[in-house]
Amino acid sequence: MYKNKMNQLFEDQKSVHVLYSYNESENYIKQIVSYIQDGILSGDCIILIENDRLYPLIHNELKTLLTTDQMKMIHRINNFDFYYSSGSYHPPAIHDYFNKTVQPYLEKGISFRSWAHVEWSSMEDPLHLIEDFEKIVDNAVNQLSFPLICAYKSERMPKYLRTILMETHPYVLVEDDLILSEQYSSSTDMKYD
């Protein structure tokens, strides 16, 4: 099952970049709650990039599983604010927002993991921007050594985007199965600042 594979993967290495392709909100909430709970029990702070619609459901579920102090280990960012901080999906602006978010953790040597729910209201944003950003993120995960799950709704992933995502994520979580992406190509040639 995914949980054992994921926990083993995090024990073996800290730099883990996972694509999560999900179908149903119910299973999505179960996966994210498990990821957050496992992270906190491992001593990691959580950077949660999530929308306003699902966050209350996730928060309510977590409140039944975690203490008040453990809940304080979760730093939630509205995903719309995160991805559109410059007014559009602009990878350099998102990258800057991410840098500002993780800087306090890096400066204090605090272990963290992140979950990013990637959404957009339309497919008008050029998909090459997502590819550019995912390459930057993959390099950051490797250089900064933290786990990250990028969640995309399956039905909103056209074939071209699915290919891009399989090439930029070394691991793929499909519902309850964690697999290696055979299409993955490392972004180590990109520089993370």
What residue ranges do the domains of the chain occupy? 2-180
Determine if the pTM surpasses 0.85.
yes
Cβ–Cβ < 8 Å for 89, 131: no
Fold of 2-180: Rossmann fold (3.40.50)
Q: What is the pLDDT of residues 78-111, one digit of tens each?
A: 998 888 877 777 778 888 889 999 999 999 999 9
C-alpha span between 40 and 94 (Å, rounded): 25
Total count of residues recorded for the chain: 193
Beta strand pairing call for 177-180 and 171-174: antiparallel
Mean pLDDT highest for which of 34-48, 128-142, 162-176?
34-48
Residue ranges in the chain assigned as alpha helix (H): 2-12, 25-41, 55-65, 68-71, 79-83, 91-108, 127-144, 159-168
Q: What is the pLDDT of residues 23-77, one digit of tens each?
A: 899 999 999 999 999 999 999 999 999 999 999 999 999 999 999 999 999 999 9
